[in-house]
Structure 1
Amino acid sequence: MGAVPDAEGPARRFWVRFRKESVFAAYTPFVVCLASGRLELETFRHYIAQDVYFLRAFARAYEMAEECADDDDAKMSISELRKAILEEMKMHDAIVEEWGVDLTKESTPNLATVKYTDFLLATAAGKIEGGKGPIKIATPFEKTKIAAYTLGAMTPCMRLYAFLGKELQSFLDPGETNHLYKKWIENYSSESFESSALQTEELLDKLSISLTGEELEVIEKLYHQAMKLEIDFFSAQPIVQQTVVPLSRVQDPAEHQLIIFSDFDLTCTVVDSSAILAEIAILTAPKADQIGPENVNARKSSADLRNSWDALSSLYTEEHEQCIESIIPSEEAKVETFNYEGLCEALEQLSDFEKRANSRVIESGVLKGVNLEDIKRAGERLILQDGCPGFFQQIVNKKEELNADVHILSYCWCGDLIRSAFSSGGLNVVNIHSNEFTYEESVSTGEIVMKVESPMDKARAFKDVLSHSDNGKHVSIYIGDSVGDLLCLLEADVGIVVGSSSSLRRVGHQFGVSFVPLFTGLVKKQREFVDGDSSSWKGLSGILYTVSSWAEIHAFILGP
């Protein structure tokens, strides 16, 4: 990952807030092909010609910002940054000459380039939109703020390029001499460029010191707008070669259905649903002194329920760890080749454990007496992982266009909680496969209809959905976070792991499963694609792909 300034100033805060969006630039066909070293020369020539317009706009914006600054140190810093841009333009001139780019033939900027350069130069000229309309620059003092606004519109681009440079550097083999874009990558991953990016961020922080909260909000808005326009710029680069991203556009919807499966607890959610359901039961239960001796059928008191739940939770955690340890007897027993059959046998132990644990919950009566309306309200307030609802919403909105379907496979005890969590965001058409509470007049009996309580149950539900897909032709994606998802993750054409479950990785490694960062896997696929090898995704390859956020999943499947 690219570095960020040490001080907790606006530049760092803004980058942290919007860094997930940098993923959308990295996952564009242009950057993935560039990282693979197999980007078509004509595409790179076009990009270089377009980037010249960016650099010219940067040089002019620095010049305009320097005129607005009233501090000698600030003026000097802006002047130094402008000189760095001019040096970068010299590097571009060398690349232009090396690649034979004729700027007289490619002198027209494309729409994405124009949008950013117009935005930047308008900002530097003081034509800025605030929260209440255009900001009026009436006095010399107000004019000095333009320098800060201008830096706010430039800083994310510098940081984004430094971020991409560092990301792509990892794909350069020190001994490799035929990577066509080595010089470009080395420039943006260099210490000198990182220094320029940091200098820009430090200057933004300095120019922002005297600004009000409202004026900082304007800079944040400019920063975010610049980031989005930069991503649009990378997305707009014309790619004529076949690519592996975004997946939904690579696959022909007329031939293949896109079927997306996801776990729910801790994959979509921030907290586990079992704890939420138990908390509902505890909070809605009567106090001990409210239960009379004559009412023998009354619910347990909230204190008794709390004690029961704590005991059940502790026992579950202890036995789950013991079960995992029994699956992984020793490091020496680890196999190097993918052994799916051995994994299935091992997970039968986990299946038996999950069933025993669920039986204990039912027998305890902890979930008896919970009202359906309370469950629905809890679902509506359930916090989902950042980027998860937006991803599914876009899939649902484009369901027909993409020929896509979404299925949630979950151990959750109560499907109503999941349905409420998704329907509150307008996602009523997501298919839910989970367990279900039983009710009498909208009040839970404490019994649970168990449909999905083990890895084997999930795998069966997964295969059943695929068996009913259009013409049997499909591309399946499974997104999960735990050992219970392993079989589905491996059976899917693309298995994506979110989170950092150590038990998932330990069990996977024990049976020869490889965990590869998704972006790394895409670059490798792109190289194989161009080399003429099959780039199709196929299940049971023994490879799972890891991501750090839902933004990566969104960028990979749907693009920006």
Structure 2
Amino acid sequence: MRLLFSSSPHPIPTLFRLARSHRPVCSSPPPPTWRSSNPMAILPKSSAAAVIPSEERLATRFWIKYRRESVLSLYSPFALCLASGSLKIETFRHYIAQDVHFLKAFAHAYELAEDCADDDDAKLAISELRKGILEELKMHNSFVQEWGSDCVNESPVNSATLKYTEFLLATASGKVEGLKAPGKLATPFEKTKIAAYTLGAMTPCMRLYAFLGKEFQRLLEPNEHNHPYKKWIENYSSESFQASALQTEDLLDKLSVPLTGEELNIIEKLYHQAMKLEIEFFYSQPLTQPTIAPLTKQHDPEQDHLMIFSDFDLTCTVVDSSAILAEIAIVTASKPDQNQPASQIARMSSAELRNTWGLLSTQYTEEYEQCIESILPSEKVEFNYETLHKALEQLSDFEKRANSRVIESGVLKGLNLEDIKRAGQRLILQDGCISFFQKITKNKSLNANIHVLSYCWCGDLIRTAFSSGGVDVLNIHANEFNYEESISTGEIVWKVQSPIDKIQAFNDILQDCSNERKKLSVYIGDSVGDLLCLVKADIGIVIGSSSSLRKVGSQYGVSFVPLFPGLVKKQKEFGEGASPCIWKGQSGILYTASSWDDIHAFILGW
């Protein structure tokens, strides 16, 4: 069980819904720490990103930092169609023609970088990498011969290809911000920087293709011989190409050793720019076939209605909201020797609150685990929505009893609304969550509605968290504190306490929606409490790694399919003439996403 730690020597146990996740300790960043009596100290100013050792390679740091760009490329319509084998041959020919222009620019850039390097080993390494590019050009020529057409000459350079090649060659020629023009370099060392900058602009492309090759190769059946692009996939997933990508990264590290922090920042900017140009390149490929991603591509706002539903705690947040409310209550409570004003709602002391929260949490965790075990069938059963619904009614009864104990304990008395709102402003949301909702709400032409269904005890916390991120056009369905002059009475207006409450709210929202347009519902959640909504939605997406959700779902016949492989399979069916209405609820299939970037790429694209 994860713990929240305060400045006190006594740890504060995690609150109720943290137990629901049953996630391993290493699966997410550790909870934040109280460092002062300021209730806002619970939340750090920046996202709890993965800590990267200082000795780790430069390219590895950049690759992790700009994961979003690689995901957007992976989920591009072109990549999905290629991976599925359904890509039209004309589109692939056009892509190959554009890629030849890329490779020629790479070969020339390596030539320029070799001239700038002042180390014999570096020159030799660059020369070997250039030879690899020339070999790749030969492979592309074999494609041209196989198809019997000169697609390179038939296809002019498109704007996305031109942007990248001009950017790369400008970098290799020394036209980099902060660097003197070639021919006017003050010292030979100044010239060597160009080699490092050039590798910074080339490395992400090599790593991206190595990444795509491996991802596509995993989806090939062992004896699959009729995949039209198997040769392409095998080339970029091959050990030799993976080694070339690694050699490029190693060389970037070597050339970057003598650079200053400011110069390393220049390399990072070049790396990021190259990644963005790669995204543009993939999304610019002209497709003449329908694709299932991005989901909004086939969306007609005149006829369709996109309904996005999301859980909040640990789906959107890094820390569970009940734990945050507990921390605020404990830190802002009166000390034993302080007299409370007669007009103020009576509160327990900090020590009493800490002890009470601990007892409630321990009791909840033990009984929750017992409840989960009690609703599991002895053997796996076929998926049946009604059977699952009946089982989760028992969990709903348990949740309501646990919530009643919280109210009766008085631990929520006396919380100040302003403290809660300040906590909401500093609340850390999962990377990519806010940008996803921002893009939907800002695109008025989508005709999309967003609904947040949450067990959170305090809707004000949710509203503040989203509004501080610039997302105000949300429909929040959560519980609400009762206040007297902005001070919590300890009572809660219950609206969404359980899986049954969530599915009832979900059904009511869909029922109230106009029937004049075709509805497509997407539900994003992370726990057992979301399970009924996940399987009822047309598309259910699981984020996170809740063991209890997997256990209950699997025993009741629910399948958990990684999102990208699932989309490749759907695209293959779509390419074989399947009905456009390929998404339907209660199929018993849920898609698992590793991050909000995957969800963004699937639903919204670039």
Residue matched to 1:460:
504
- Per-residue deviation at 1:313? 1.2
CA distance in 2, matches of 1:79, 1:260: 51
- Per-residue deviation at 1:99? 2.3
CA distance in 2, matches of 1:61, 1:494: 45
Residue matched to 2:489:
445
CA distance in 1, matches of 2:128, 2:55: 21
Task: Find out whether 1:44 has 2:65 as its counterpart.
Answer: no
Aligned length: 552
Q: Give the TM-score of the pair, scaled to structure 2.
A: 0.89
Residue matched to 2:349:
301
What whole-Å deviation, never above 9, does each CA across 1:111-155 have from its counterpart, x for those lacking one?
10000000000000111125x999984332111011000000000
CA distance in 2, matches of 1:148, 1:296: 65
Greater Cα offset, 305-314 or 53-62: 305-314
- Per-residue deviation at 1:427? 1.0
Q: Summarize the Cα distance change of 1:293–1:74 in structure 2 as closer, same or farther, 3 Å threshold.
A: closer
Out of 412, 430, 447, the residue aligned to residue 385 of structure 1 is 430
Out of 409, 418, 436, the residue aligned to residue 453 of structure 2 is 409
CA distance in 1, matches of 2:389, 2:205: 48
Task: Find out whether 1:334 has 2:380 as its counterpart.
Answer: yes
Task: Find out whether 1:206 has 2:250 as its counterpart.
Answer: no
Task: Find out whether 1:555 has 2:601 as its counterpart.
Answer: yes
Q: Give the TM-score of the pair, scaled to structure 1.
A: 0.96
Contact 1:20 1:549 in 2 (8 A): no
- Per-residue deviation at 1:105? 4.1
CA distance in 1, matches of 2:342, 2:207: 70
Out of 548, 552, 555, the residue aligned to residue 510 of structure 1 is 555
Q: What is the letter of the counterpart of residue 252 of structure 1?
A: D
Alignment of structure 1 residues 538-553 onto 2, 5 Å:
538-553=584-599
Contact 2:129 2:244 in 1 (8 A): yes
Task: Find out whether 1:534 has 2:574 as its counterpart.
Answer: no
CA distance in 1, matches of 2:324, 2:507: 29
CA distance in 1, matches of 2:104, 2:291: 31
CA distance in 2, matches of 1:187, 1:401: 41
Task: Find out whether 1:114 has 2:138 as its counterpart.
Answer: no
CA distance in 2, matches of 1:258, 1:297: 45
Out of 298, 306, 328, the residue aligned to residue 280 of structure 1 is 328
- Per-residue deviation at 1:231? 1.1
Residue matched to 1:482:
527
Q: Summarize the Cα distance change of 1:63–1:133 in structure 2 as closer, same or farther, 3 Å threshold.
A: closer
Residue matched to 2:223:
175
Unmatched tracts of structure 2, length 5 or more: 1-51
CA distance in 2, matches of 1:314, 1:97: 70
- Per-residue deviation at 1:297? 5.9
Out of 367, 371, 374, the residue aligned to residue 319 of structure 1 is 367
Q: Summarize the Cα distance change of 1:133–1:396 in structure 2 as closer, same or farther, 3 Å threshold.
A: farther
- Per-residue deviation at 1:291? 3.4
The 3-state SS of whatever aligns with 2:146 is: helix
Residue matched to 1:352:
397
Contact 1:518 1:546 in 2 (8 A): yes
Q: What is the letter of the counterpart of residue 526 of structure 2?
A: D
Q: What is the letter of the counterpart of residue 458 of structure 2?
A: C
Contact 1:77 1:203 in 2 (8 A): yes
Contact 2:377 2:555 in 1 (8 A): no
Residue matched to 2:317:
269
Q: What is the letter of the counterpart of residue 440 of structure 1?
A: E
What whole-Å deviation, never above 9, does each CA across 1:401-444 have from its counterpart, x for those lacking one?
11111110000000000000001011111110000000000100
Contact 1:29 1:243 in 2 (8 A): yes
The 3-state SS of whatever aligns with 1:216 is: helix
Residue matched to 1:525:
570
Contact 2:310 2:452 in 1 (8 A): yes
Contact 2:451 2:477 in 1 (8 A): yes
CA distance in 1, matches of 2:61, 2:103: 25
Contact 1:5 1:11 in 2 (8 A): no
Task: Find out whether 1:96 has 2:144 as its counterpart.
Answer: yes
Q: What is the letter of the counterpart of residue 67 of structure 2?
A: R
- Per-residue deviation at 1:18? 1.1
Contact 2:97 2:152 in 1 (8 A): no
RMSD: 2.0
Task: Find out whether 1:433 has 2:481 as its counterpart.
Answer: no
Task: Find out whether 1:232 has 2:280 as its counterpart.
Answer: yes
CA distance in 1, matches of 2:604, 2:81: 17
The 3-state SS of whatever aligns with 1:289 is: coil
Q: Summarize the Cα distance change of 1:472–1:46 in structure 2 as closer, same or farther, 3 Å threshold.
A: closer
Residue matched to 1:143:
191
What whole-Å deviation, never above 9, does each CA across 1:447-502 have from its counterpart, x for those lacking one?
00010000011001111111122325211000000000000001100000000001
Greater Cα offset, 308-317 or 137-146: 137-146
Residue matched to 2:47:
none
The 3-state SS of whatever aligns with 1:370 is: coil
Out of 488, 492, 500, the residue aligned to residue 537 of structure 2 is 492
Q: Summarize the Cα distance change of 1:138–1:442 in structure 2 as closer, same or farther, 3 Å threshold.
A: same
CA distance in 2, matches of 1:5, 1:50: 38
Q: Summarize the Cα distance change of 1:292–1:428 in structure 2 as closer, same or farther, 3 Å threshold.
A: closer
What whole-Å deviation, never above 9, does each CA across 1:300-328 have from its counterpart, x for those lacking one?
11111111111111111111111111112
Q: What is the letter of the counterpart of residue 59 of structure 1?
A: A
CA distance in 2, matches of 1:51, 1:547: 30
The 3-state SS of whatever aligns with 2:154 is: coil
Contact 1:414 1:434 in 2 (8 A): yes
Q: What is the letter of the counterpart of residue 56 of structure 1?
A: K
What whole-Å deviation, never above 9, does each CA across 1:182-236 have from its counterpart, x for those lacking one?
0000000000000000000000011011111111111111111101101110110
CA distance in 2, matches of 1:126, 1:133: 7
Q: Summarize the Cα distance change of 1:133–1:526 in structure 2 as closer, same or farther, 3 Å threshold.
A: farther
Task: Find out whether 1:55 has 2:103 as its counterpart.
Answer: yes
CA distance in 1, matches of 2:573, 2:341: 74
What whole-Å deviation, never above 9, does each CA across 1:160-184 have from its counterpart, x for those lacking one?
0000000000221232221100000
Residue matched to 1:159:
207
Q: Summarize the Cα distance change of 1:405–1:134 in structure 2 as closer, same or farther, 3 Å threshold.
A: farther
Residue matched to 1:218:
266
Task: Find out whether 1:366 has 2:414 as its counterpart.
Answer: no
- Per-residue deviation at 1:293? 11
CA distance in 1, matches of 2:180, 2:291: 42
